[in-house]
Each structure stands twice: as C-alpha cells, then as structure tokens.
Structure 1
Amino acid sequence: MPSSPSPSSSVQAARQALADRLREIRQDAGLSGRALSEAAQWHPAKTSRIERGGQPATAADIQKWCEVCGVIDLAPDLVASLRAVEGAYVEWRRLERTGLSRLQQTYVPLYERTTHFRVYQSHVVPGLLQTVEYASALLSAITMFRRIPNDAEAAASGRVERQRVLYSERRFAFLVEEAVLMYGVGDSDVMAAQLRHLLTMMRLPSVSFGVIPMNARPRRIWTLEGFTIFDDVEVQIELLTAKVTVSAPGELSVYARAFGELATLAVTGDQARALIEQALDALS
C-alpha cells in the first residue's frame, strides 16, 4: 500500500516557488546574481543561496530585491506570500513554549467562523468529541514527551470549551479508524467514559460519525495522518513535530477527495455504535 507523502513537502514547494519568482524578477531586470548582491550590499553568494532555496528570504530581503530590480510595487504581494509560507509549517516547539493552554485559545476564531468541519483521525478521538478526562490524559502525555510546562488540565478545559460549536447550525463530519476506539489514552475508566461519550455525541443532529473498520475491504486509500478540513478554506494536519496548514485550492481538493474516499470505507449509525460497544465490552 502506498505511503502518504509528507504534508511538509507542499510547504517546501511553496518556498521554492517564491524563490523562483524572485529569480525571474532578477532576470527580467537584466541583473546577474552577483550584481544584485552587490547593489543590495549583501554577501556575493546570498542571491544564489536564496534562489536555490538554501537560505530563506526575509521580508526585508524581498523589499530590497524588488527595490534593486525596479519593481518595488511587487514587494507587498511577495511579502504576503512569504507570510503565508511561514505560517504553513510551524513547529510545535514555537507554539508550545509556555504550555498548551494558550495554544488552545488560538483556535477559537477559526472554529467560530467555520460552518462545515470534516475531521479524520487515525490515532486519537477528535478533539471536538473528547471528554475532559480523555483530553487531559492525552495532553499530559504530549507535555511529557515534548518536555514543556504541564498545564494539561487547563488546556483540556479550553479544548472542551470549544465544543460549544457542536450545538449550533454548523455541520460536522467525523471519521475515525476503528483502532482509535481501542488505543489506551488514560486508564480503562477514562476510555470507557470516552466511548460512552461518543455514543451520546453521535446522536447530535449536527454530527455525522463514521468508523472505518479494521477489516474494511477493499481499501482503496491507506491510513493517513489526522487532518481537519475547515469549510473549503484550509486544512490543518498535525505532525509529530509541527502543525501544517494547507490553503492552496489544488491541495484542498486532494484532502477533500481523500476524506470522501475514507468515508466510503466507514460504517455509521447502528454499525458504528456496535463497534463502539464492542470496544467498551473489551474494557470490562
């Protein structure tokens, strides 16, 4: 079965696309790389390093580049592209320096403005469906692994607080691999309470909840990293070391198609409930 391409590869491609655009601007201005570096008062090799992707351009670099090439009017759009690339791949260590609680609050505006959520998880229960005890156990494990301040209880409360969006006119489609129902996050009591909570939440009129059985056949799409599609605006993917945000229309359509393919493998309604109840029985 094919492996999933790294979500960070698209970010690298976006960085190189910006570098390629800068090279085109230099060439259109009739300047060599050395001449641009000299005019900008840079190290002679800096222009070449930026164009090859060996050194990322800064906003100040782009401003100076456009100034030297006589196209200063292009600078604002290029700097905006740079900001988009910088925000597309953000390491957790940058986001979690002070713990997880503050990070949870940063998601609120996105959740408030989204009307259609499509969530796929292959390893954990989706955050919008977690109990506070499950969330606390999961976030505690994250803080220990990443060696950051442990504010898991406060972070779990913030995560659960966001669940108020479930009781609105928004739409939510959740898909989880069956293994999610069996992974031991917290102790048996925490897992049992979480599974019972899923049985309750899947009855909400705003919620569609599907489970992809481990024996689903034929499996035309492999198990992927967890991702959330927010309307048709962006996709967020959580990697071990970073959060990746995808907003390019072409890539959005790929994730939407993947979600659709995964949905064809899932069972819902009574069949999904039966799998949850089987997982519950296995805990007793």
Structure 2
Amino acid sequence: MSTDFQTARVALGARLRELRSEAGMNGKELAERLDWQRSKISRLENGKQTPSHEDLAAWTKAVGKPDTVAELQGRLQGLETQYRTWRRQLANGHRSRQELAVAETARTQLIRGVEVARIPGLFQTADYARHLFIANAEFRKTPRDTDAAVRARIQRQEALYEAGRSFRFLLWEAALYAQVCPREVMAAQLDRLSGLIGVDTVELGIIPFTASLQRTPAHGFWIYDDRLVTVETINAELWLDDRDNIDLYARAWNWLQESAVYGHQAHRLIARARAALALM
C-alpha cells in the first residue's frame, strides 16, 4: 500500500472520529446505532480499513451530520482514484479493466514499461493472455470472462501499428522463462516477441541476468506519456499522477534502461529461452 494512500486514509478516519465526537457519542454507542461490530468503528477511525460509500452515508446519518456526506465521499473518491483494488476492478470479470486499458492507450503517445515476470499485455499472444486471465480469475475468485478479456487485450495491440505512437519496454530476462502457460504456448509467445523487434513503433530491451544494475527491477510499472504511472500489486493497482511519483518512476526506467540490451543481442536472449523449452 502506498504511503500517500495510507496517509489519506488515516486523515479520513480522523475526520470520521471528529464527527462522532462532535455528536457526543463513543465508539460503542455508534456501533450499536449502526448495528456494526465495535471493531469496524475502530478500524475505520484509525485508517485500518477503507470505508465504502454506503458506510460513509450511514455514518453521517447516525451522527446527525448528513450534510457532510459529500465531503467524505469526495475524500473517498480521491483514495479510489489512486488505489484501485482488484476486488472492485474485477468484480464483473477482466473485460472492463481491459477496455479501460484500451482507452488509456488511445490517449497516449508514448508508453514506457517494465515487466519482470511476464510478457507485457501489449505484446502477448491470445493464447498466452488466455492462460494469464484464467489463472488470475481463479486466484482472485472473480467471474471468468476470458474470451471477452482476450479480445479486448488484442484490440489494444492495434495501437502498436499506428503512426506517431511509441512503445518502449524493458523486460527482465526472467520473464522469458516464467512458465505461466504450456511450453507450446510459450514458444509461440517468444516467437511473437522476437518478431516485434524491428517494428518502428516498438523499442524492446531485455535486461540480462548478468547485467550490472544501478537498481533491481523490483516490480513492473507502466508510464503513460508524462502524466500517469500504473503499478500492480497483489491486491490493488496504483494510479499515480503526481509529479514526484512520475519523476521517480521515470528515473527508475532510465536507470534500468542502461542495463538493457537491444536488437540482435535481445534476439539472442529470446532465442536462448526458446531453445531452453525443448530441453524441459
């Protein structure tokens, strides 16, 4: 969880506590009025749990301050904009998140990305993407809309061939070996990746296992133009649009780029991973 998100959630909790205190109620009394567990009141007030919009509406009504609900829900909206839980994003399956990615890509001229354990979605074959979506739905216990999600992901890839766009990606060599799908699917995926080297809108760098690093590629991230960074964690996706975070991730990308190889050297690393599949 980002520090900025947690700080904002603690501030929201403090505001809830203030409203309760102004109403002359203690936590136990408010919990009884709302028919909630006392522990929920404590978690919300101490920034340990993110309230829902319904929680805020019920809270303001219970403390006699329904006019403050717009203020509180505005604060919550700010949290949700930056910190988007997968539980909410994938509540109806993967398709809607993929369609959001299509729209975000359409309004972007330059995408820079880093991936450490998988092939970037923009470069995935349909079969590779299908295995990832199935596994992710099983892990998160979300609705499975695999075919629709794959179609949306492939639709997004049309941007790779549009003049005036640029896609600059860095791939940790480990992603060439991660067995997230059957060998024949991975082989086709590596062939696809190799074929993208030389496409005029694509710049693909591979960071070798043996590269000297200024910093390690700790996790993947994508930078959209100079306005947005997205970062995936296990439970949420961060959408960071403040200047400090954008500059920080741009610097991380630049440092990692210095360790990457391109062109025929990148081809050689992909070919080596492709050959290794036959030995498994």
Tell me whether the two structures share a fold, i.e. TM-score over 0.5. yes
Distance 1:48 1:149 in 2: 32
Equivalent position of 1:188 in the other structure: 183
CA change 1:112–1:34 in 2 (3 A) is: closer
Question: Post-superposition, which runs of at least 4 consecutive aligned residues in structure 1 deviate over 4 A?
Answer: 17-20, 32-35, 42-52, 54-64, 74-81
Equivalent position of 1:112 in the other structure: 106
CA change 1:258–1:84 in 2 (3 A) is: same
Question: Considering only aligned residues, what root-mean-square deviation do their CA atoms show, in Å?
Answer: 3.2
Deviation string for 1:53-75 (max 9, x for gaps)? Answer: 357676769999xxx8xxx9x99
CA change 1:276–1:49 in 2 (3 A) is: closer
- Deviation of 1:84 after TM superposition, in Å, equals 2.0
Whether the aligned pair in 2 keeps the contact of 1:235 and 1:246 (CA below 8 Å) is yes
CA change 1:239–1:38 in 2 (3 A) is: same
Deviation string for 1:237-272 (max 9, x for gaps)? Answer: 111121121122111111111111111111111111
Equivalent position of 1:153 in the other structure: 147
Distance 1:37 1:50 in 2: 17
Matched, 1:197 2:200: no
Letter aligned with residue 36 of structure 1 = E
Equivalent position of 2:22 in the other structure: 36
Match of 1:210, SS? strand
- Deviation of 1:283 after TM superposition, in Å, equals 1.7
- Deviation of 1:153 after TM superposition, in Å, equals 2.6
- Deviation of 1:82 after TM superposition, in Å, equals 3.5
Match of 1:232, SS? coil
Equivalent position of 2:227 in the other structure: 233
Matched, 1:257 2:269: no
Matched, 1:89 2:75: no
Of residues 201-210 and 101-110 in structure 1, the stretch that sits farther from structure 2 once superposed is: 101-110
Whether the aligned pair in 2 keeps the contact of 1:131 and 1:197 (CA below 8 Å) is yes
Whether the aligned pair in 1 keeps the contact of 2:12 and 2:47 (CA below 8 Å) is no
Whether the aligned pair in 1 keeps the contact of 2:102 and 2:155 (CA below 8 Å) is no
Q: Which runs of 5+ in 2 are unaligned?
A: 32-37
- Deviation of 1:107 after TM superposition, in Å, equals 2.1
Distance 2:152 2:81 in 1: 23
Whether the aligned pair in 1 keeps the contact of 2:102 and 2:152 (CA below 8 Å) is no
TM-score (norm 2): 0.79
Matched, 1:133 2:133: no
Distance 1:184 1:47 in 2: 44
Match of 1:228, SS? strand
- Deviation of 1:95 after TM superposition, in Å, equals 1.7
Letter aligned with residue 165 of structure 1 = A
Distance 1:224 1:246 in 2: 17
- Deviation of 1:83 after TM superposition, in Å, equals 1.4
Letter aligned with residue 194 of structure 1 = Q
Letter aligned with residue 276 of structure 1 = I
Distance 2:203 2:130 in 1: 25
Percent of pairs with identical residues: 35
Match of 2:91, SS? coil
Equivalent position of 1:29 in the other structure: none
